[in-house]
Structure 1
Amino acid sequence: MVERAERLCQTRGLQFTRLRRDVLAAVAAEHKPLGAYDIAERMSAPGRRVAAVSVYRALDFLTEQGFVHRISSRNAFVSCGHDHGEGAGLVFLICRTCGGIDEMTAPAVESALDQTLAGAGFTPTSRILEVEGECGACRGRGDAGENA
């Protein structure tokens, strides 16, 4: 994840600072979304406190470059290790039980959204849909517990 970001920054002529690298590494190490204060806490060490404002700046850069995604409903961030392409809509499936997040594209939803936006004469700056519910693993654990 970090190596990919480093290569892309070099190709794009962008600085991939140590702070940006460390923030991305902290987010990538988790399988759940992290807020800026959580990230700052993980990066801090005795005698070396990382400021949340610095983390927010790094997250802004990482989001602009597509290395992380902001989950608005959680005011938190998840890493992204692949390229969605220009204007690709994303759908995040957010489990309320375990907090896990699955990221996907949904071409049929994107097409319908394109038509709706065009009809309204609206140009979005972001096309991210968040759907909350229960993931298959948690639902499976719940079903197993009910049958016991």
Structure 2
Amino acid sequence: MAHHETCTDPRHHVHTGDAFVAQVERACEQRGLRLTPLRASALRLIADADRPLKAYDLLDRMKATHEGAAPPTVYRALDFLLEHGFIHKLSSINAFVGCHHPGGAQHAVPFLICDRCHAATELEDEQIVGALDARARALGFTPRAQTLEVHGLCADCAAHPDGD
């Protein structure tokens, strides 16, 4: 995975683009899913990006190797990767990042997003996710999905307020 996409729980973290794609390939094989060349290409580009990647940036990068790449094909690839938990969508910035443990079950992961450098950190904290779920259920609400995105400055950007 890229430098800026960090994870707070490295126990089952995928560290390189090659390892990431290989783990998704294994997960697809185990689940009986079809990782088409276009889906694999989108996955690789997301894994190799140094920041969350917007769909049209992904499309521009895919056109270099896939002549027929068009918005509908890219969105279908993203939908597949999202549906099966291989990537996460950061709704507040409309961008995508690879899941740091794509072989596992789908899960809710809060993100810390730097407003300056656009680093996205998976805040793998079961207590936060559990507290949100429990509070929702206490109010009679049945959660189906959870998205929590916290914006601010990462440690590097906060240490260099002038961007130096």
Q: Same fold (TM over 0.5)?
A: yes
- Identify the TM-score tier after normalising by the shorter chain: 0.7 to 0.9
Residue number among 65, 73, 76 corresponding to 1:57 in the alignment: 76
Higher RCO structure (Cα 8 Å, ≥6 apart): 2
Equivalent residue, structure 2, for 1:40: 59
The answer (yes or no) to whether the contact 1:88–1:105 under 8 Å persists in 2 is no
SS at match of 1:139: helix
Equivalent residue, structure 1, for 2:30: 11
CA RMSD in angstroms comes to: 2.3
Moved runs in structure 1, 4+ residues, more than 6 A?
A: none
Equivalent residue, structure 1, for 2:135: 116
TM-score by length of 2: 0.80
Gaps of 5+ in 2: 1-19
Identical amino acids, percent of aligned pairs = 43
Matched positions, count: 145
Greater share of helix: 1
Please identify the structure whose Cα radius of gyration is greater. Answer: 1
Q: Is the alpha carbon distance of 1:6 and 1:144 closer, same or farther for their aligned partners in structure 2, counting shifts above 3 Å?
A: closer
SS at match of 2:92: helix
TM-score by length of 1: 0.88
Supply the distance in 2 between the matched residues of 1:47 and 1:88 (Cα, whole angstroms).
31
Q: How far did 1:85 drift?
A: 5.4
Equivalent residue, structure 1, for 2:91: 72
